[in-house]
């Protein structure tokens, strides 16, 4: 909006509340990560910005009915599903995806029914070694009193206070120099009071000074270990390497009791010090006891209804909308003349639906700025957009006003930015009364009722 002074931006959000992954994906004990909300708040103050909450694009309003009223549409709806392991026993009670567990303790309405069974036993296995996997481990092991002042839901705090989980194993299929988590995440786990880290013997012979910067810092943290010693504390965690999940088992019920892994080894031509080193299965197996298990092996985006009617392809394998490096949506048959692939006028994407579920919030913000700059450049250079600038097919320029009646006619209640600020104030008020930053409304119904009180 700063670069095109007469541009008007409508932002559609399927929930009544904004911020998406920042609100529902960032760990409650990482409030500093949520500072990017300040940038959003500044943009939302503009009279040329419209927040349209509680409206699901593709469901409450069809994309083809939005098209005549806009010059451009930017898809930035993230990754709403998680990848599955595809192994026997994955549907047993006690097996959860990290995505739904994180959504549950962060108050995401669709997961408030989860009720994770954390009091059945004391062993947890987390499959995957990215930042989300370490978030899960840290939340399971952090004393609940340290979480009470955060915006974690009261329901989650109650469940965690009754948890019997004392030991967490975070398992990956490759080696310690191929982990995907950050230095910050693993350092925080090392610093939890009265939680010991199981040392990694294979790391003792590695000189960190010979490694690239990020691997060097992670290796140093892993070699140093935790401030608590395993023989002096009841709770512990560890990293397990070279293990690929093979099956999950129940002992005498339908509840998880153990996870079996196929042991892996570096491929003959692999460089063990490389972050991209490949592994191959061996003939050996390892079985770990577990009363709960969390799969944390990645997220994926899905196509929203109506993309194909706009001529937008969707790569189901990669979980992205095909695009050029700047976020312009591409189709295999949209090129001019004899060219095949080309840009689809007026359509853009950003974030995980653009490049897959990788990176942190800072890199995703940078990526969004790149896509926004592409829209500005196309506008200023006269590139074709969704509709012509004049003539029979000219954009109506109505934006939200062109589809509002369609949405409201379906009985949907759209919210504006002031509505969100009302919800925001009431959540903070609820939290203040019980000594925390906010207490989130756990359902869409509660959010909407809060506007009528």
184-204 tens-digit pLDDT: 999 999 999 999 999 898 888
Known binding residue 157? Answer is no
Mean pLDDT taken over the chain = 92
pLDDT at residue 251 greater than cutoff 70: yes
Do the Cβ atoms of 315 and 303 come closer than 8 Å?
no
Phi, psi of 217 (to 5 degrees): -65, -40
Known binding residue 53? Answer is no
Residue-wise pLDDT tens digits, 211-232: 989 999 999 999 999 988 766 7
Residue for token pair 């005498």: 252
Give the residue-averaged pLDDT of 238-257. 94
Known binding residue 132? Answer is yes
In whole angstroms, give the CA distance from residue 323 to residue 348.
Answer: 8
Question: Residue 448's closest CA among 170, 73, 54, 83?
Answer: 54
Question: Residue 234's closest CA among 122, 344, 333, 125?
Answer: 122
pLDDT at residue 410 greater than cutoff 90: yes
Known binding residue 129? Answer is yes
Handedness of CA 343, 349, 351, 357 (dihedral sign): negative
Known binding residue 100? Answer is no
Structure confidence at residue 25 (pLDDT):
87
Known binding residue 393? Answer is no
pTM of structure: 0.91
Known binding residue 148? Answer is no
Ordered alpha helix ranges (H), 62-116: 63-66, 98-105
Handedness of CA 431, 144, 80, 322 (dihedral sign): positive
Structure confidence at residue 252 (pLDDT):
77
Known binding residue 263? Answer is no
Give the residue-averaged pLDDT of 253-273. 94
Which residues are within 8 A (CB) of 252 and not within 5 positions of it... i.e. 6 or more apart? none
Known binding residue 173? Answer is yes
Beta-strand runs (E) in 104-234: 123-127, 167-171, 195-197
Known binding residue 359? Answer is yes
Question: Residue 387's closest CA among 373, 372, 402?
Answer: 402
Known binding residue 106? Answer is no
pLDDT at residue 334 greater than cutoff 80: no
Do the Cβ atoms of 379 and 385 come closer than 8 Å?
yes
Residue-wise pLDDT tens digits, 87-146: 999 999 999 999 999 999 999 999 999 999 999 999 999 999 999 999 999 999 999 999
pLDDT at residue 338 greater than cutoff 70: no
Domains of the chain: 9-80+300-433 (3.40.50.720), 81-299 (3.50.50.60)
CB atoms within 10 A of CB 91: 9
Known binding residue 439? Answer is no
Mode of pairing for the β-strands spanning 123-127 and 167-171: parallel
pLDDT at residue 363 greater than cutoff 90: no
């Amino acid at each position: 909006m700063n670069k095109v002074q007469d541009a008007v931006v409508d932002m559609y959000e399927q929930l009544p509340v904004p911020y998406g992954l920042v609100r529902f994906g960032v760990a409650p004990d990482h409030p500093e990560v949520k500072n990017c909300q300040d940038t959003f708040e500044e943009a939302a103050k503009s009279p040329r910005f419209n927040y349209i909450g509680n409206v699901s694009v593709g469901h409450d309003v069809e994309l083809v009915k939005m098209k005549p009223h806009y010059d451009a549409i930017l898809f930035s709806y993230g990754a709403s599903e998680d990848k599955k392991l595809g192994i026997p026993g994955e549907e047993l009670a006690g097996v959860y995806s990290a995505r739904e567990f994180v959504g549950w303790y962060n108050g995401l309405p669709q997961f408030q029914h989860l009720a994770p069974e954390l009091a059945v036993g004391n062993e947890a296995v987390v499959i995957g070694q990215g930042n989300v996997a370490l978030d899960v481990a840290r939340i399971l092991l952090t004393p609940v009193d340290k979480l009470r002042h955060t915006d974690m839901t009261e329901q989650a705090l109650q469940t965690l206070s009754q948890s019997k989980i004392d030991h967490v194993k975070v398992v990956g299929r490759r080696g310690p120099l191929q982990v995907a988590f950050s230095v910050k995440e693993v350092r925080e786990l090392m610093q939890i009071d009265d939680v010991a880290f199981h040392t990694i013997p294979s790391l003792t012979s590695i000189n960190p000074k010979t490694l690239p910067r990020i691997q060097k810092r992670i290796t140093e943290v892993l070699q140093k270990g935790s401030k608590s010693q395993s023989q002096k504390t009841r709770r512990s965690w560890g990293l397990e390497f070279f293990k690929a999940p093979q099956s999950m088992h129940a002992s005498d019920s339908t509840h998880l009791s153990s996870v079996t892994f196929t042991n892996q080894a570096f491929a003959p031509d692999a460089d063990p010090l490389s972050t991209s080193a490949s592994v191959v299965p061996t003939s050996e197996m390892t079985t770990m006891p577990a009363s709960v298990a969390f799969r944390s092996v990645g997220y994926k985006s899905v196509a929203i209804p109506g993309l194909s009617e706009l001529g937008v392809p969707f790569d189901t394998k990669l979980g992205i909308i095909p695009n050029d490096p700047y976020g312009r949506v591409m189709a295999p048959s949209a090129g001019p003349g004899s060219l095949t692939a080309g840009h689809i006028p007026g359509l853009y994407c950003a974030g995980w639906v653009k490049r897959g579920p990788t990176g942190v919030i800072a890199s995703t913000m940078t990526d969004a700025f790149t896509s926004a700059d592409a829209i500005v450049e196309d506008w200023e250079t006269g590139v074709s957009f969704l509709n012509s600038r004049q003539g029979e097919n000219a954009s109506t320029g109505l934006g939200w006003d062109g589809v509002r009646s369609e949405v409201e006619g379906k009985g949907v209640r759209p919210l504006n930015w002031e509505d969100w600020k009302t919800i925001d104030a009431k959540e903070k008020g609820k939290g203040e009364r019980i000594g925390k930053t906010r207490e989130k409304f756990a359902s869409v119904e509660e959010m909407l009722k809060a506007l009528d009180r």
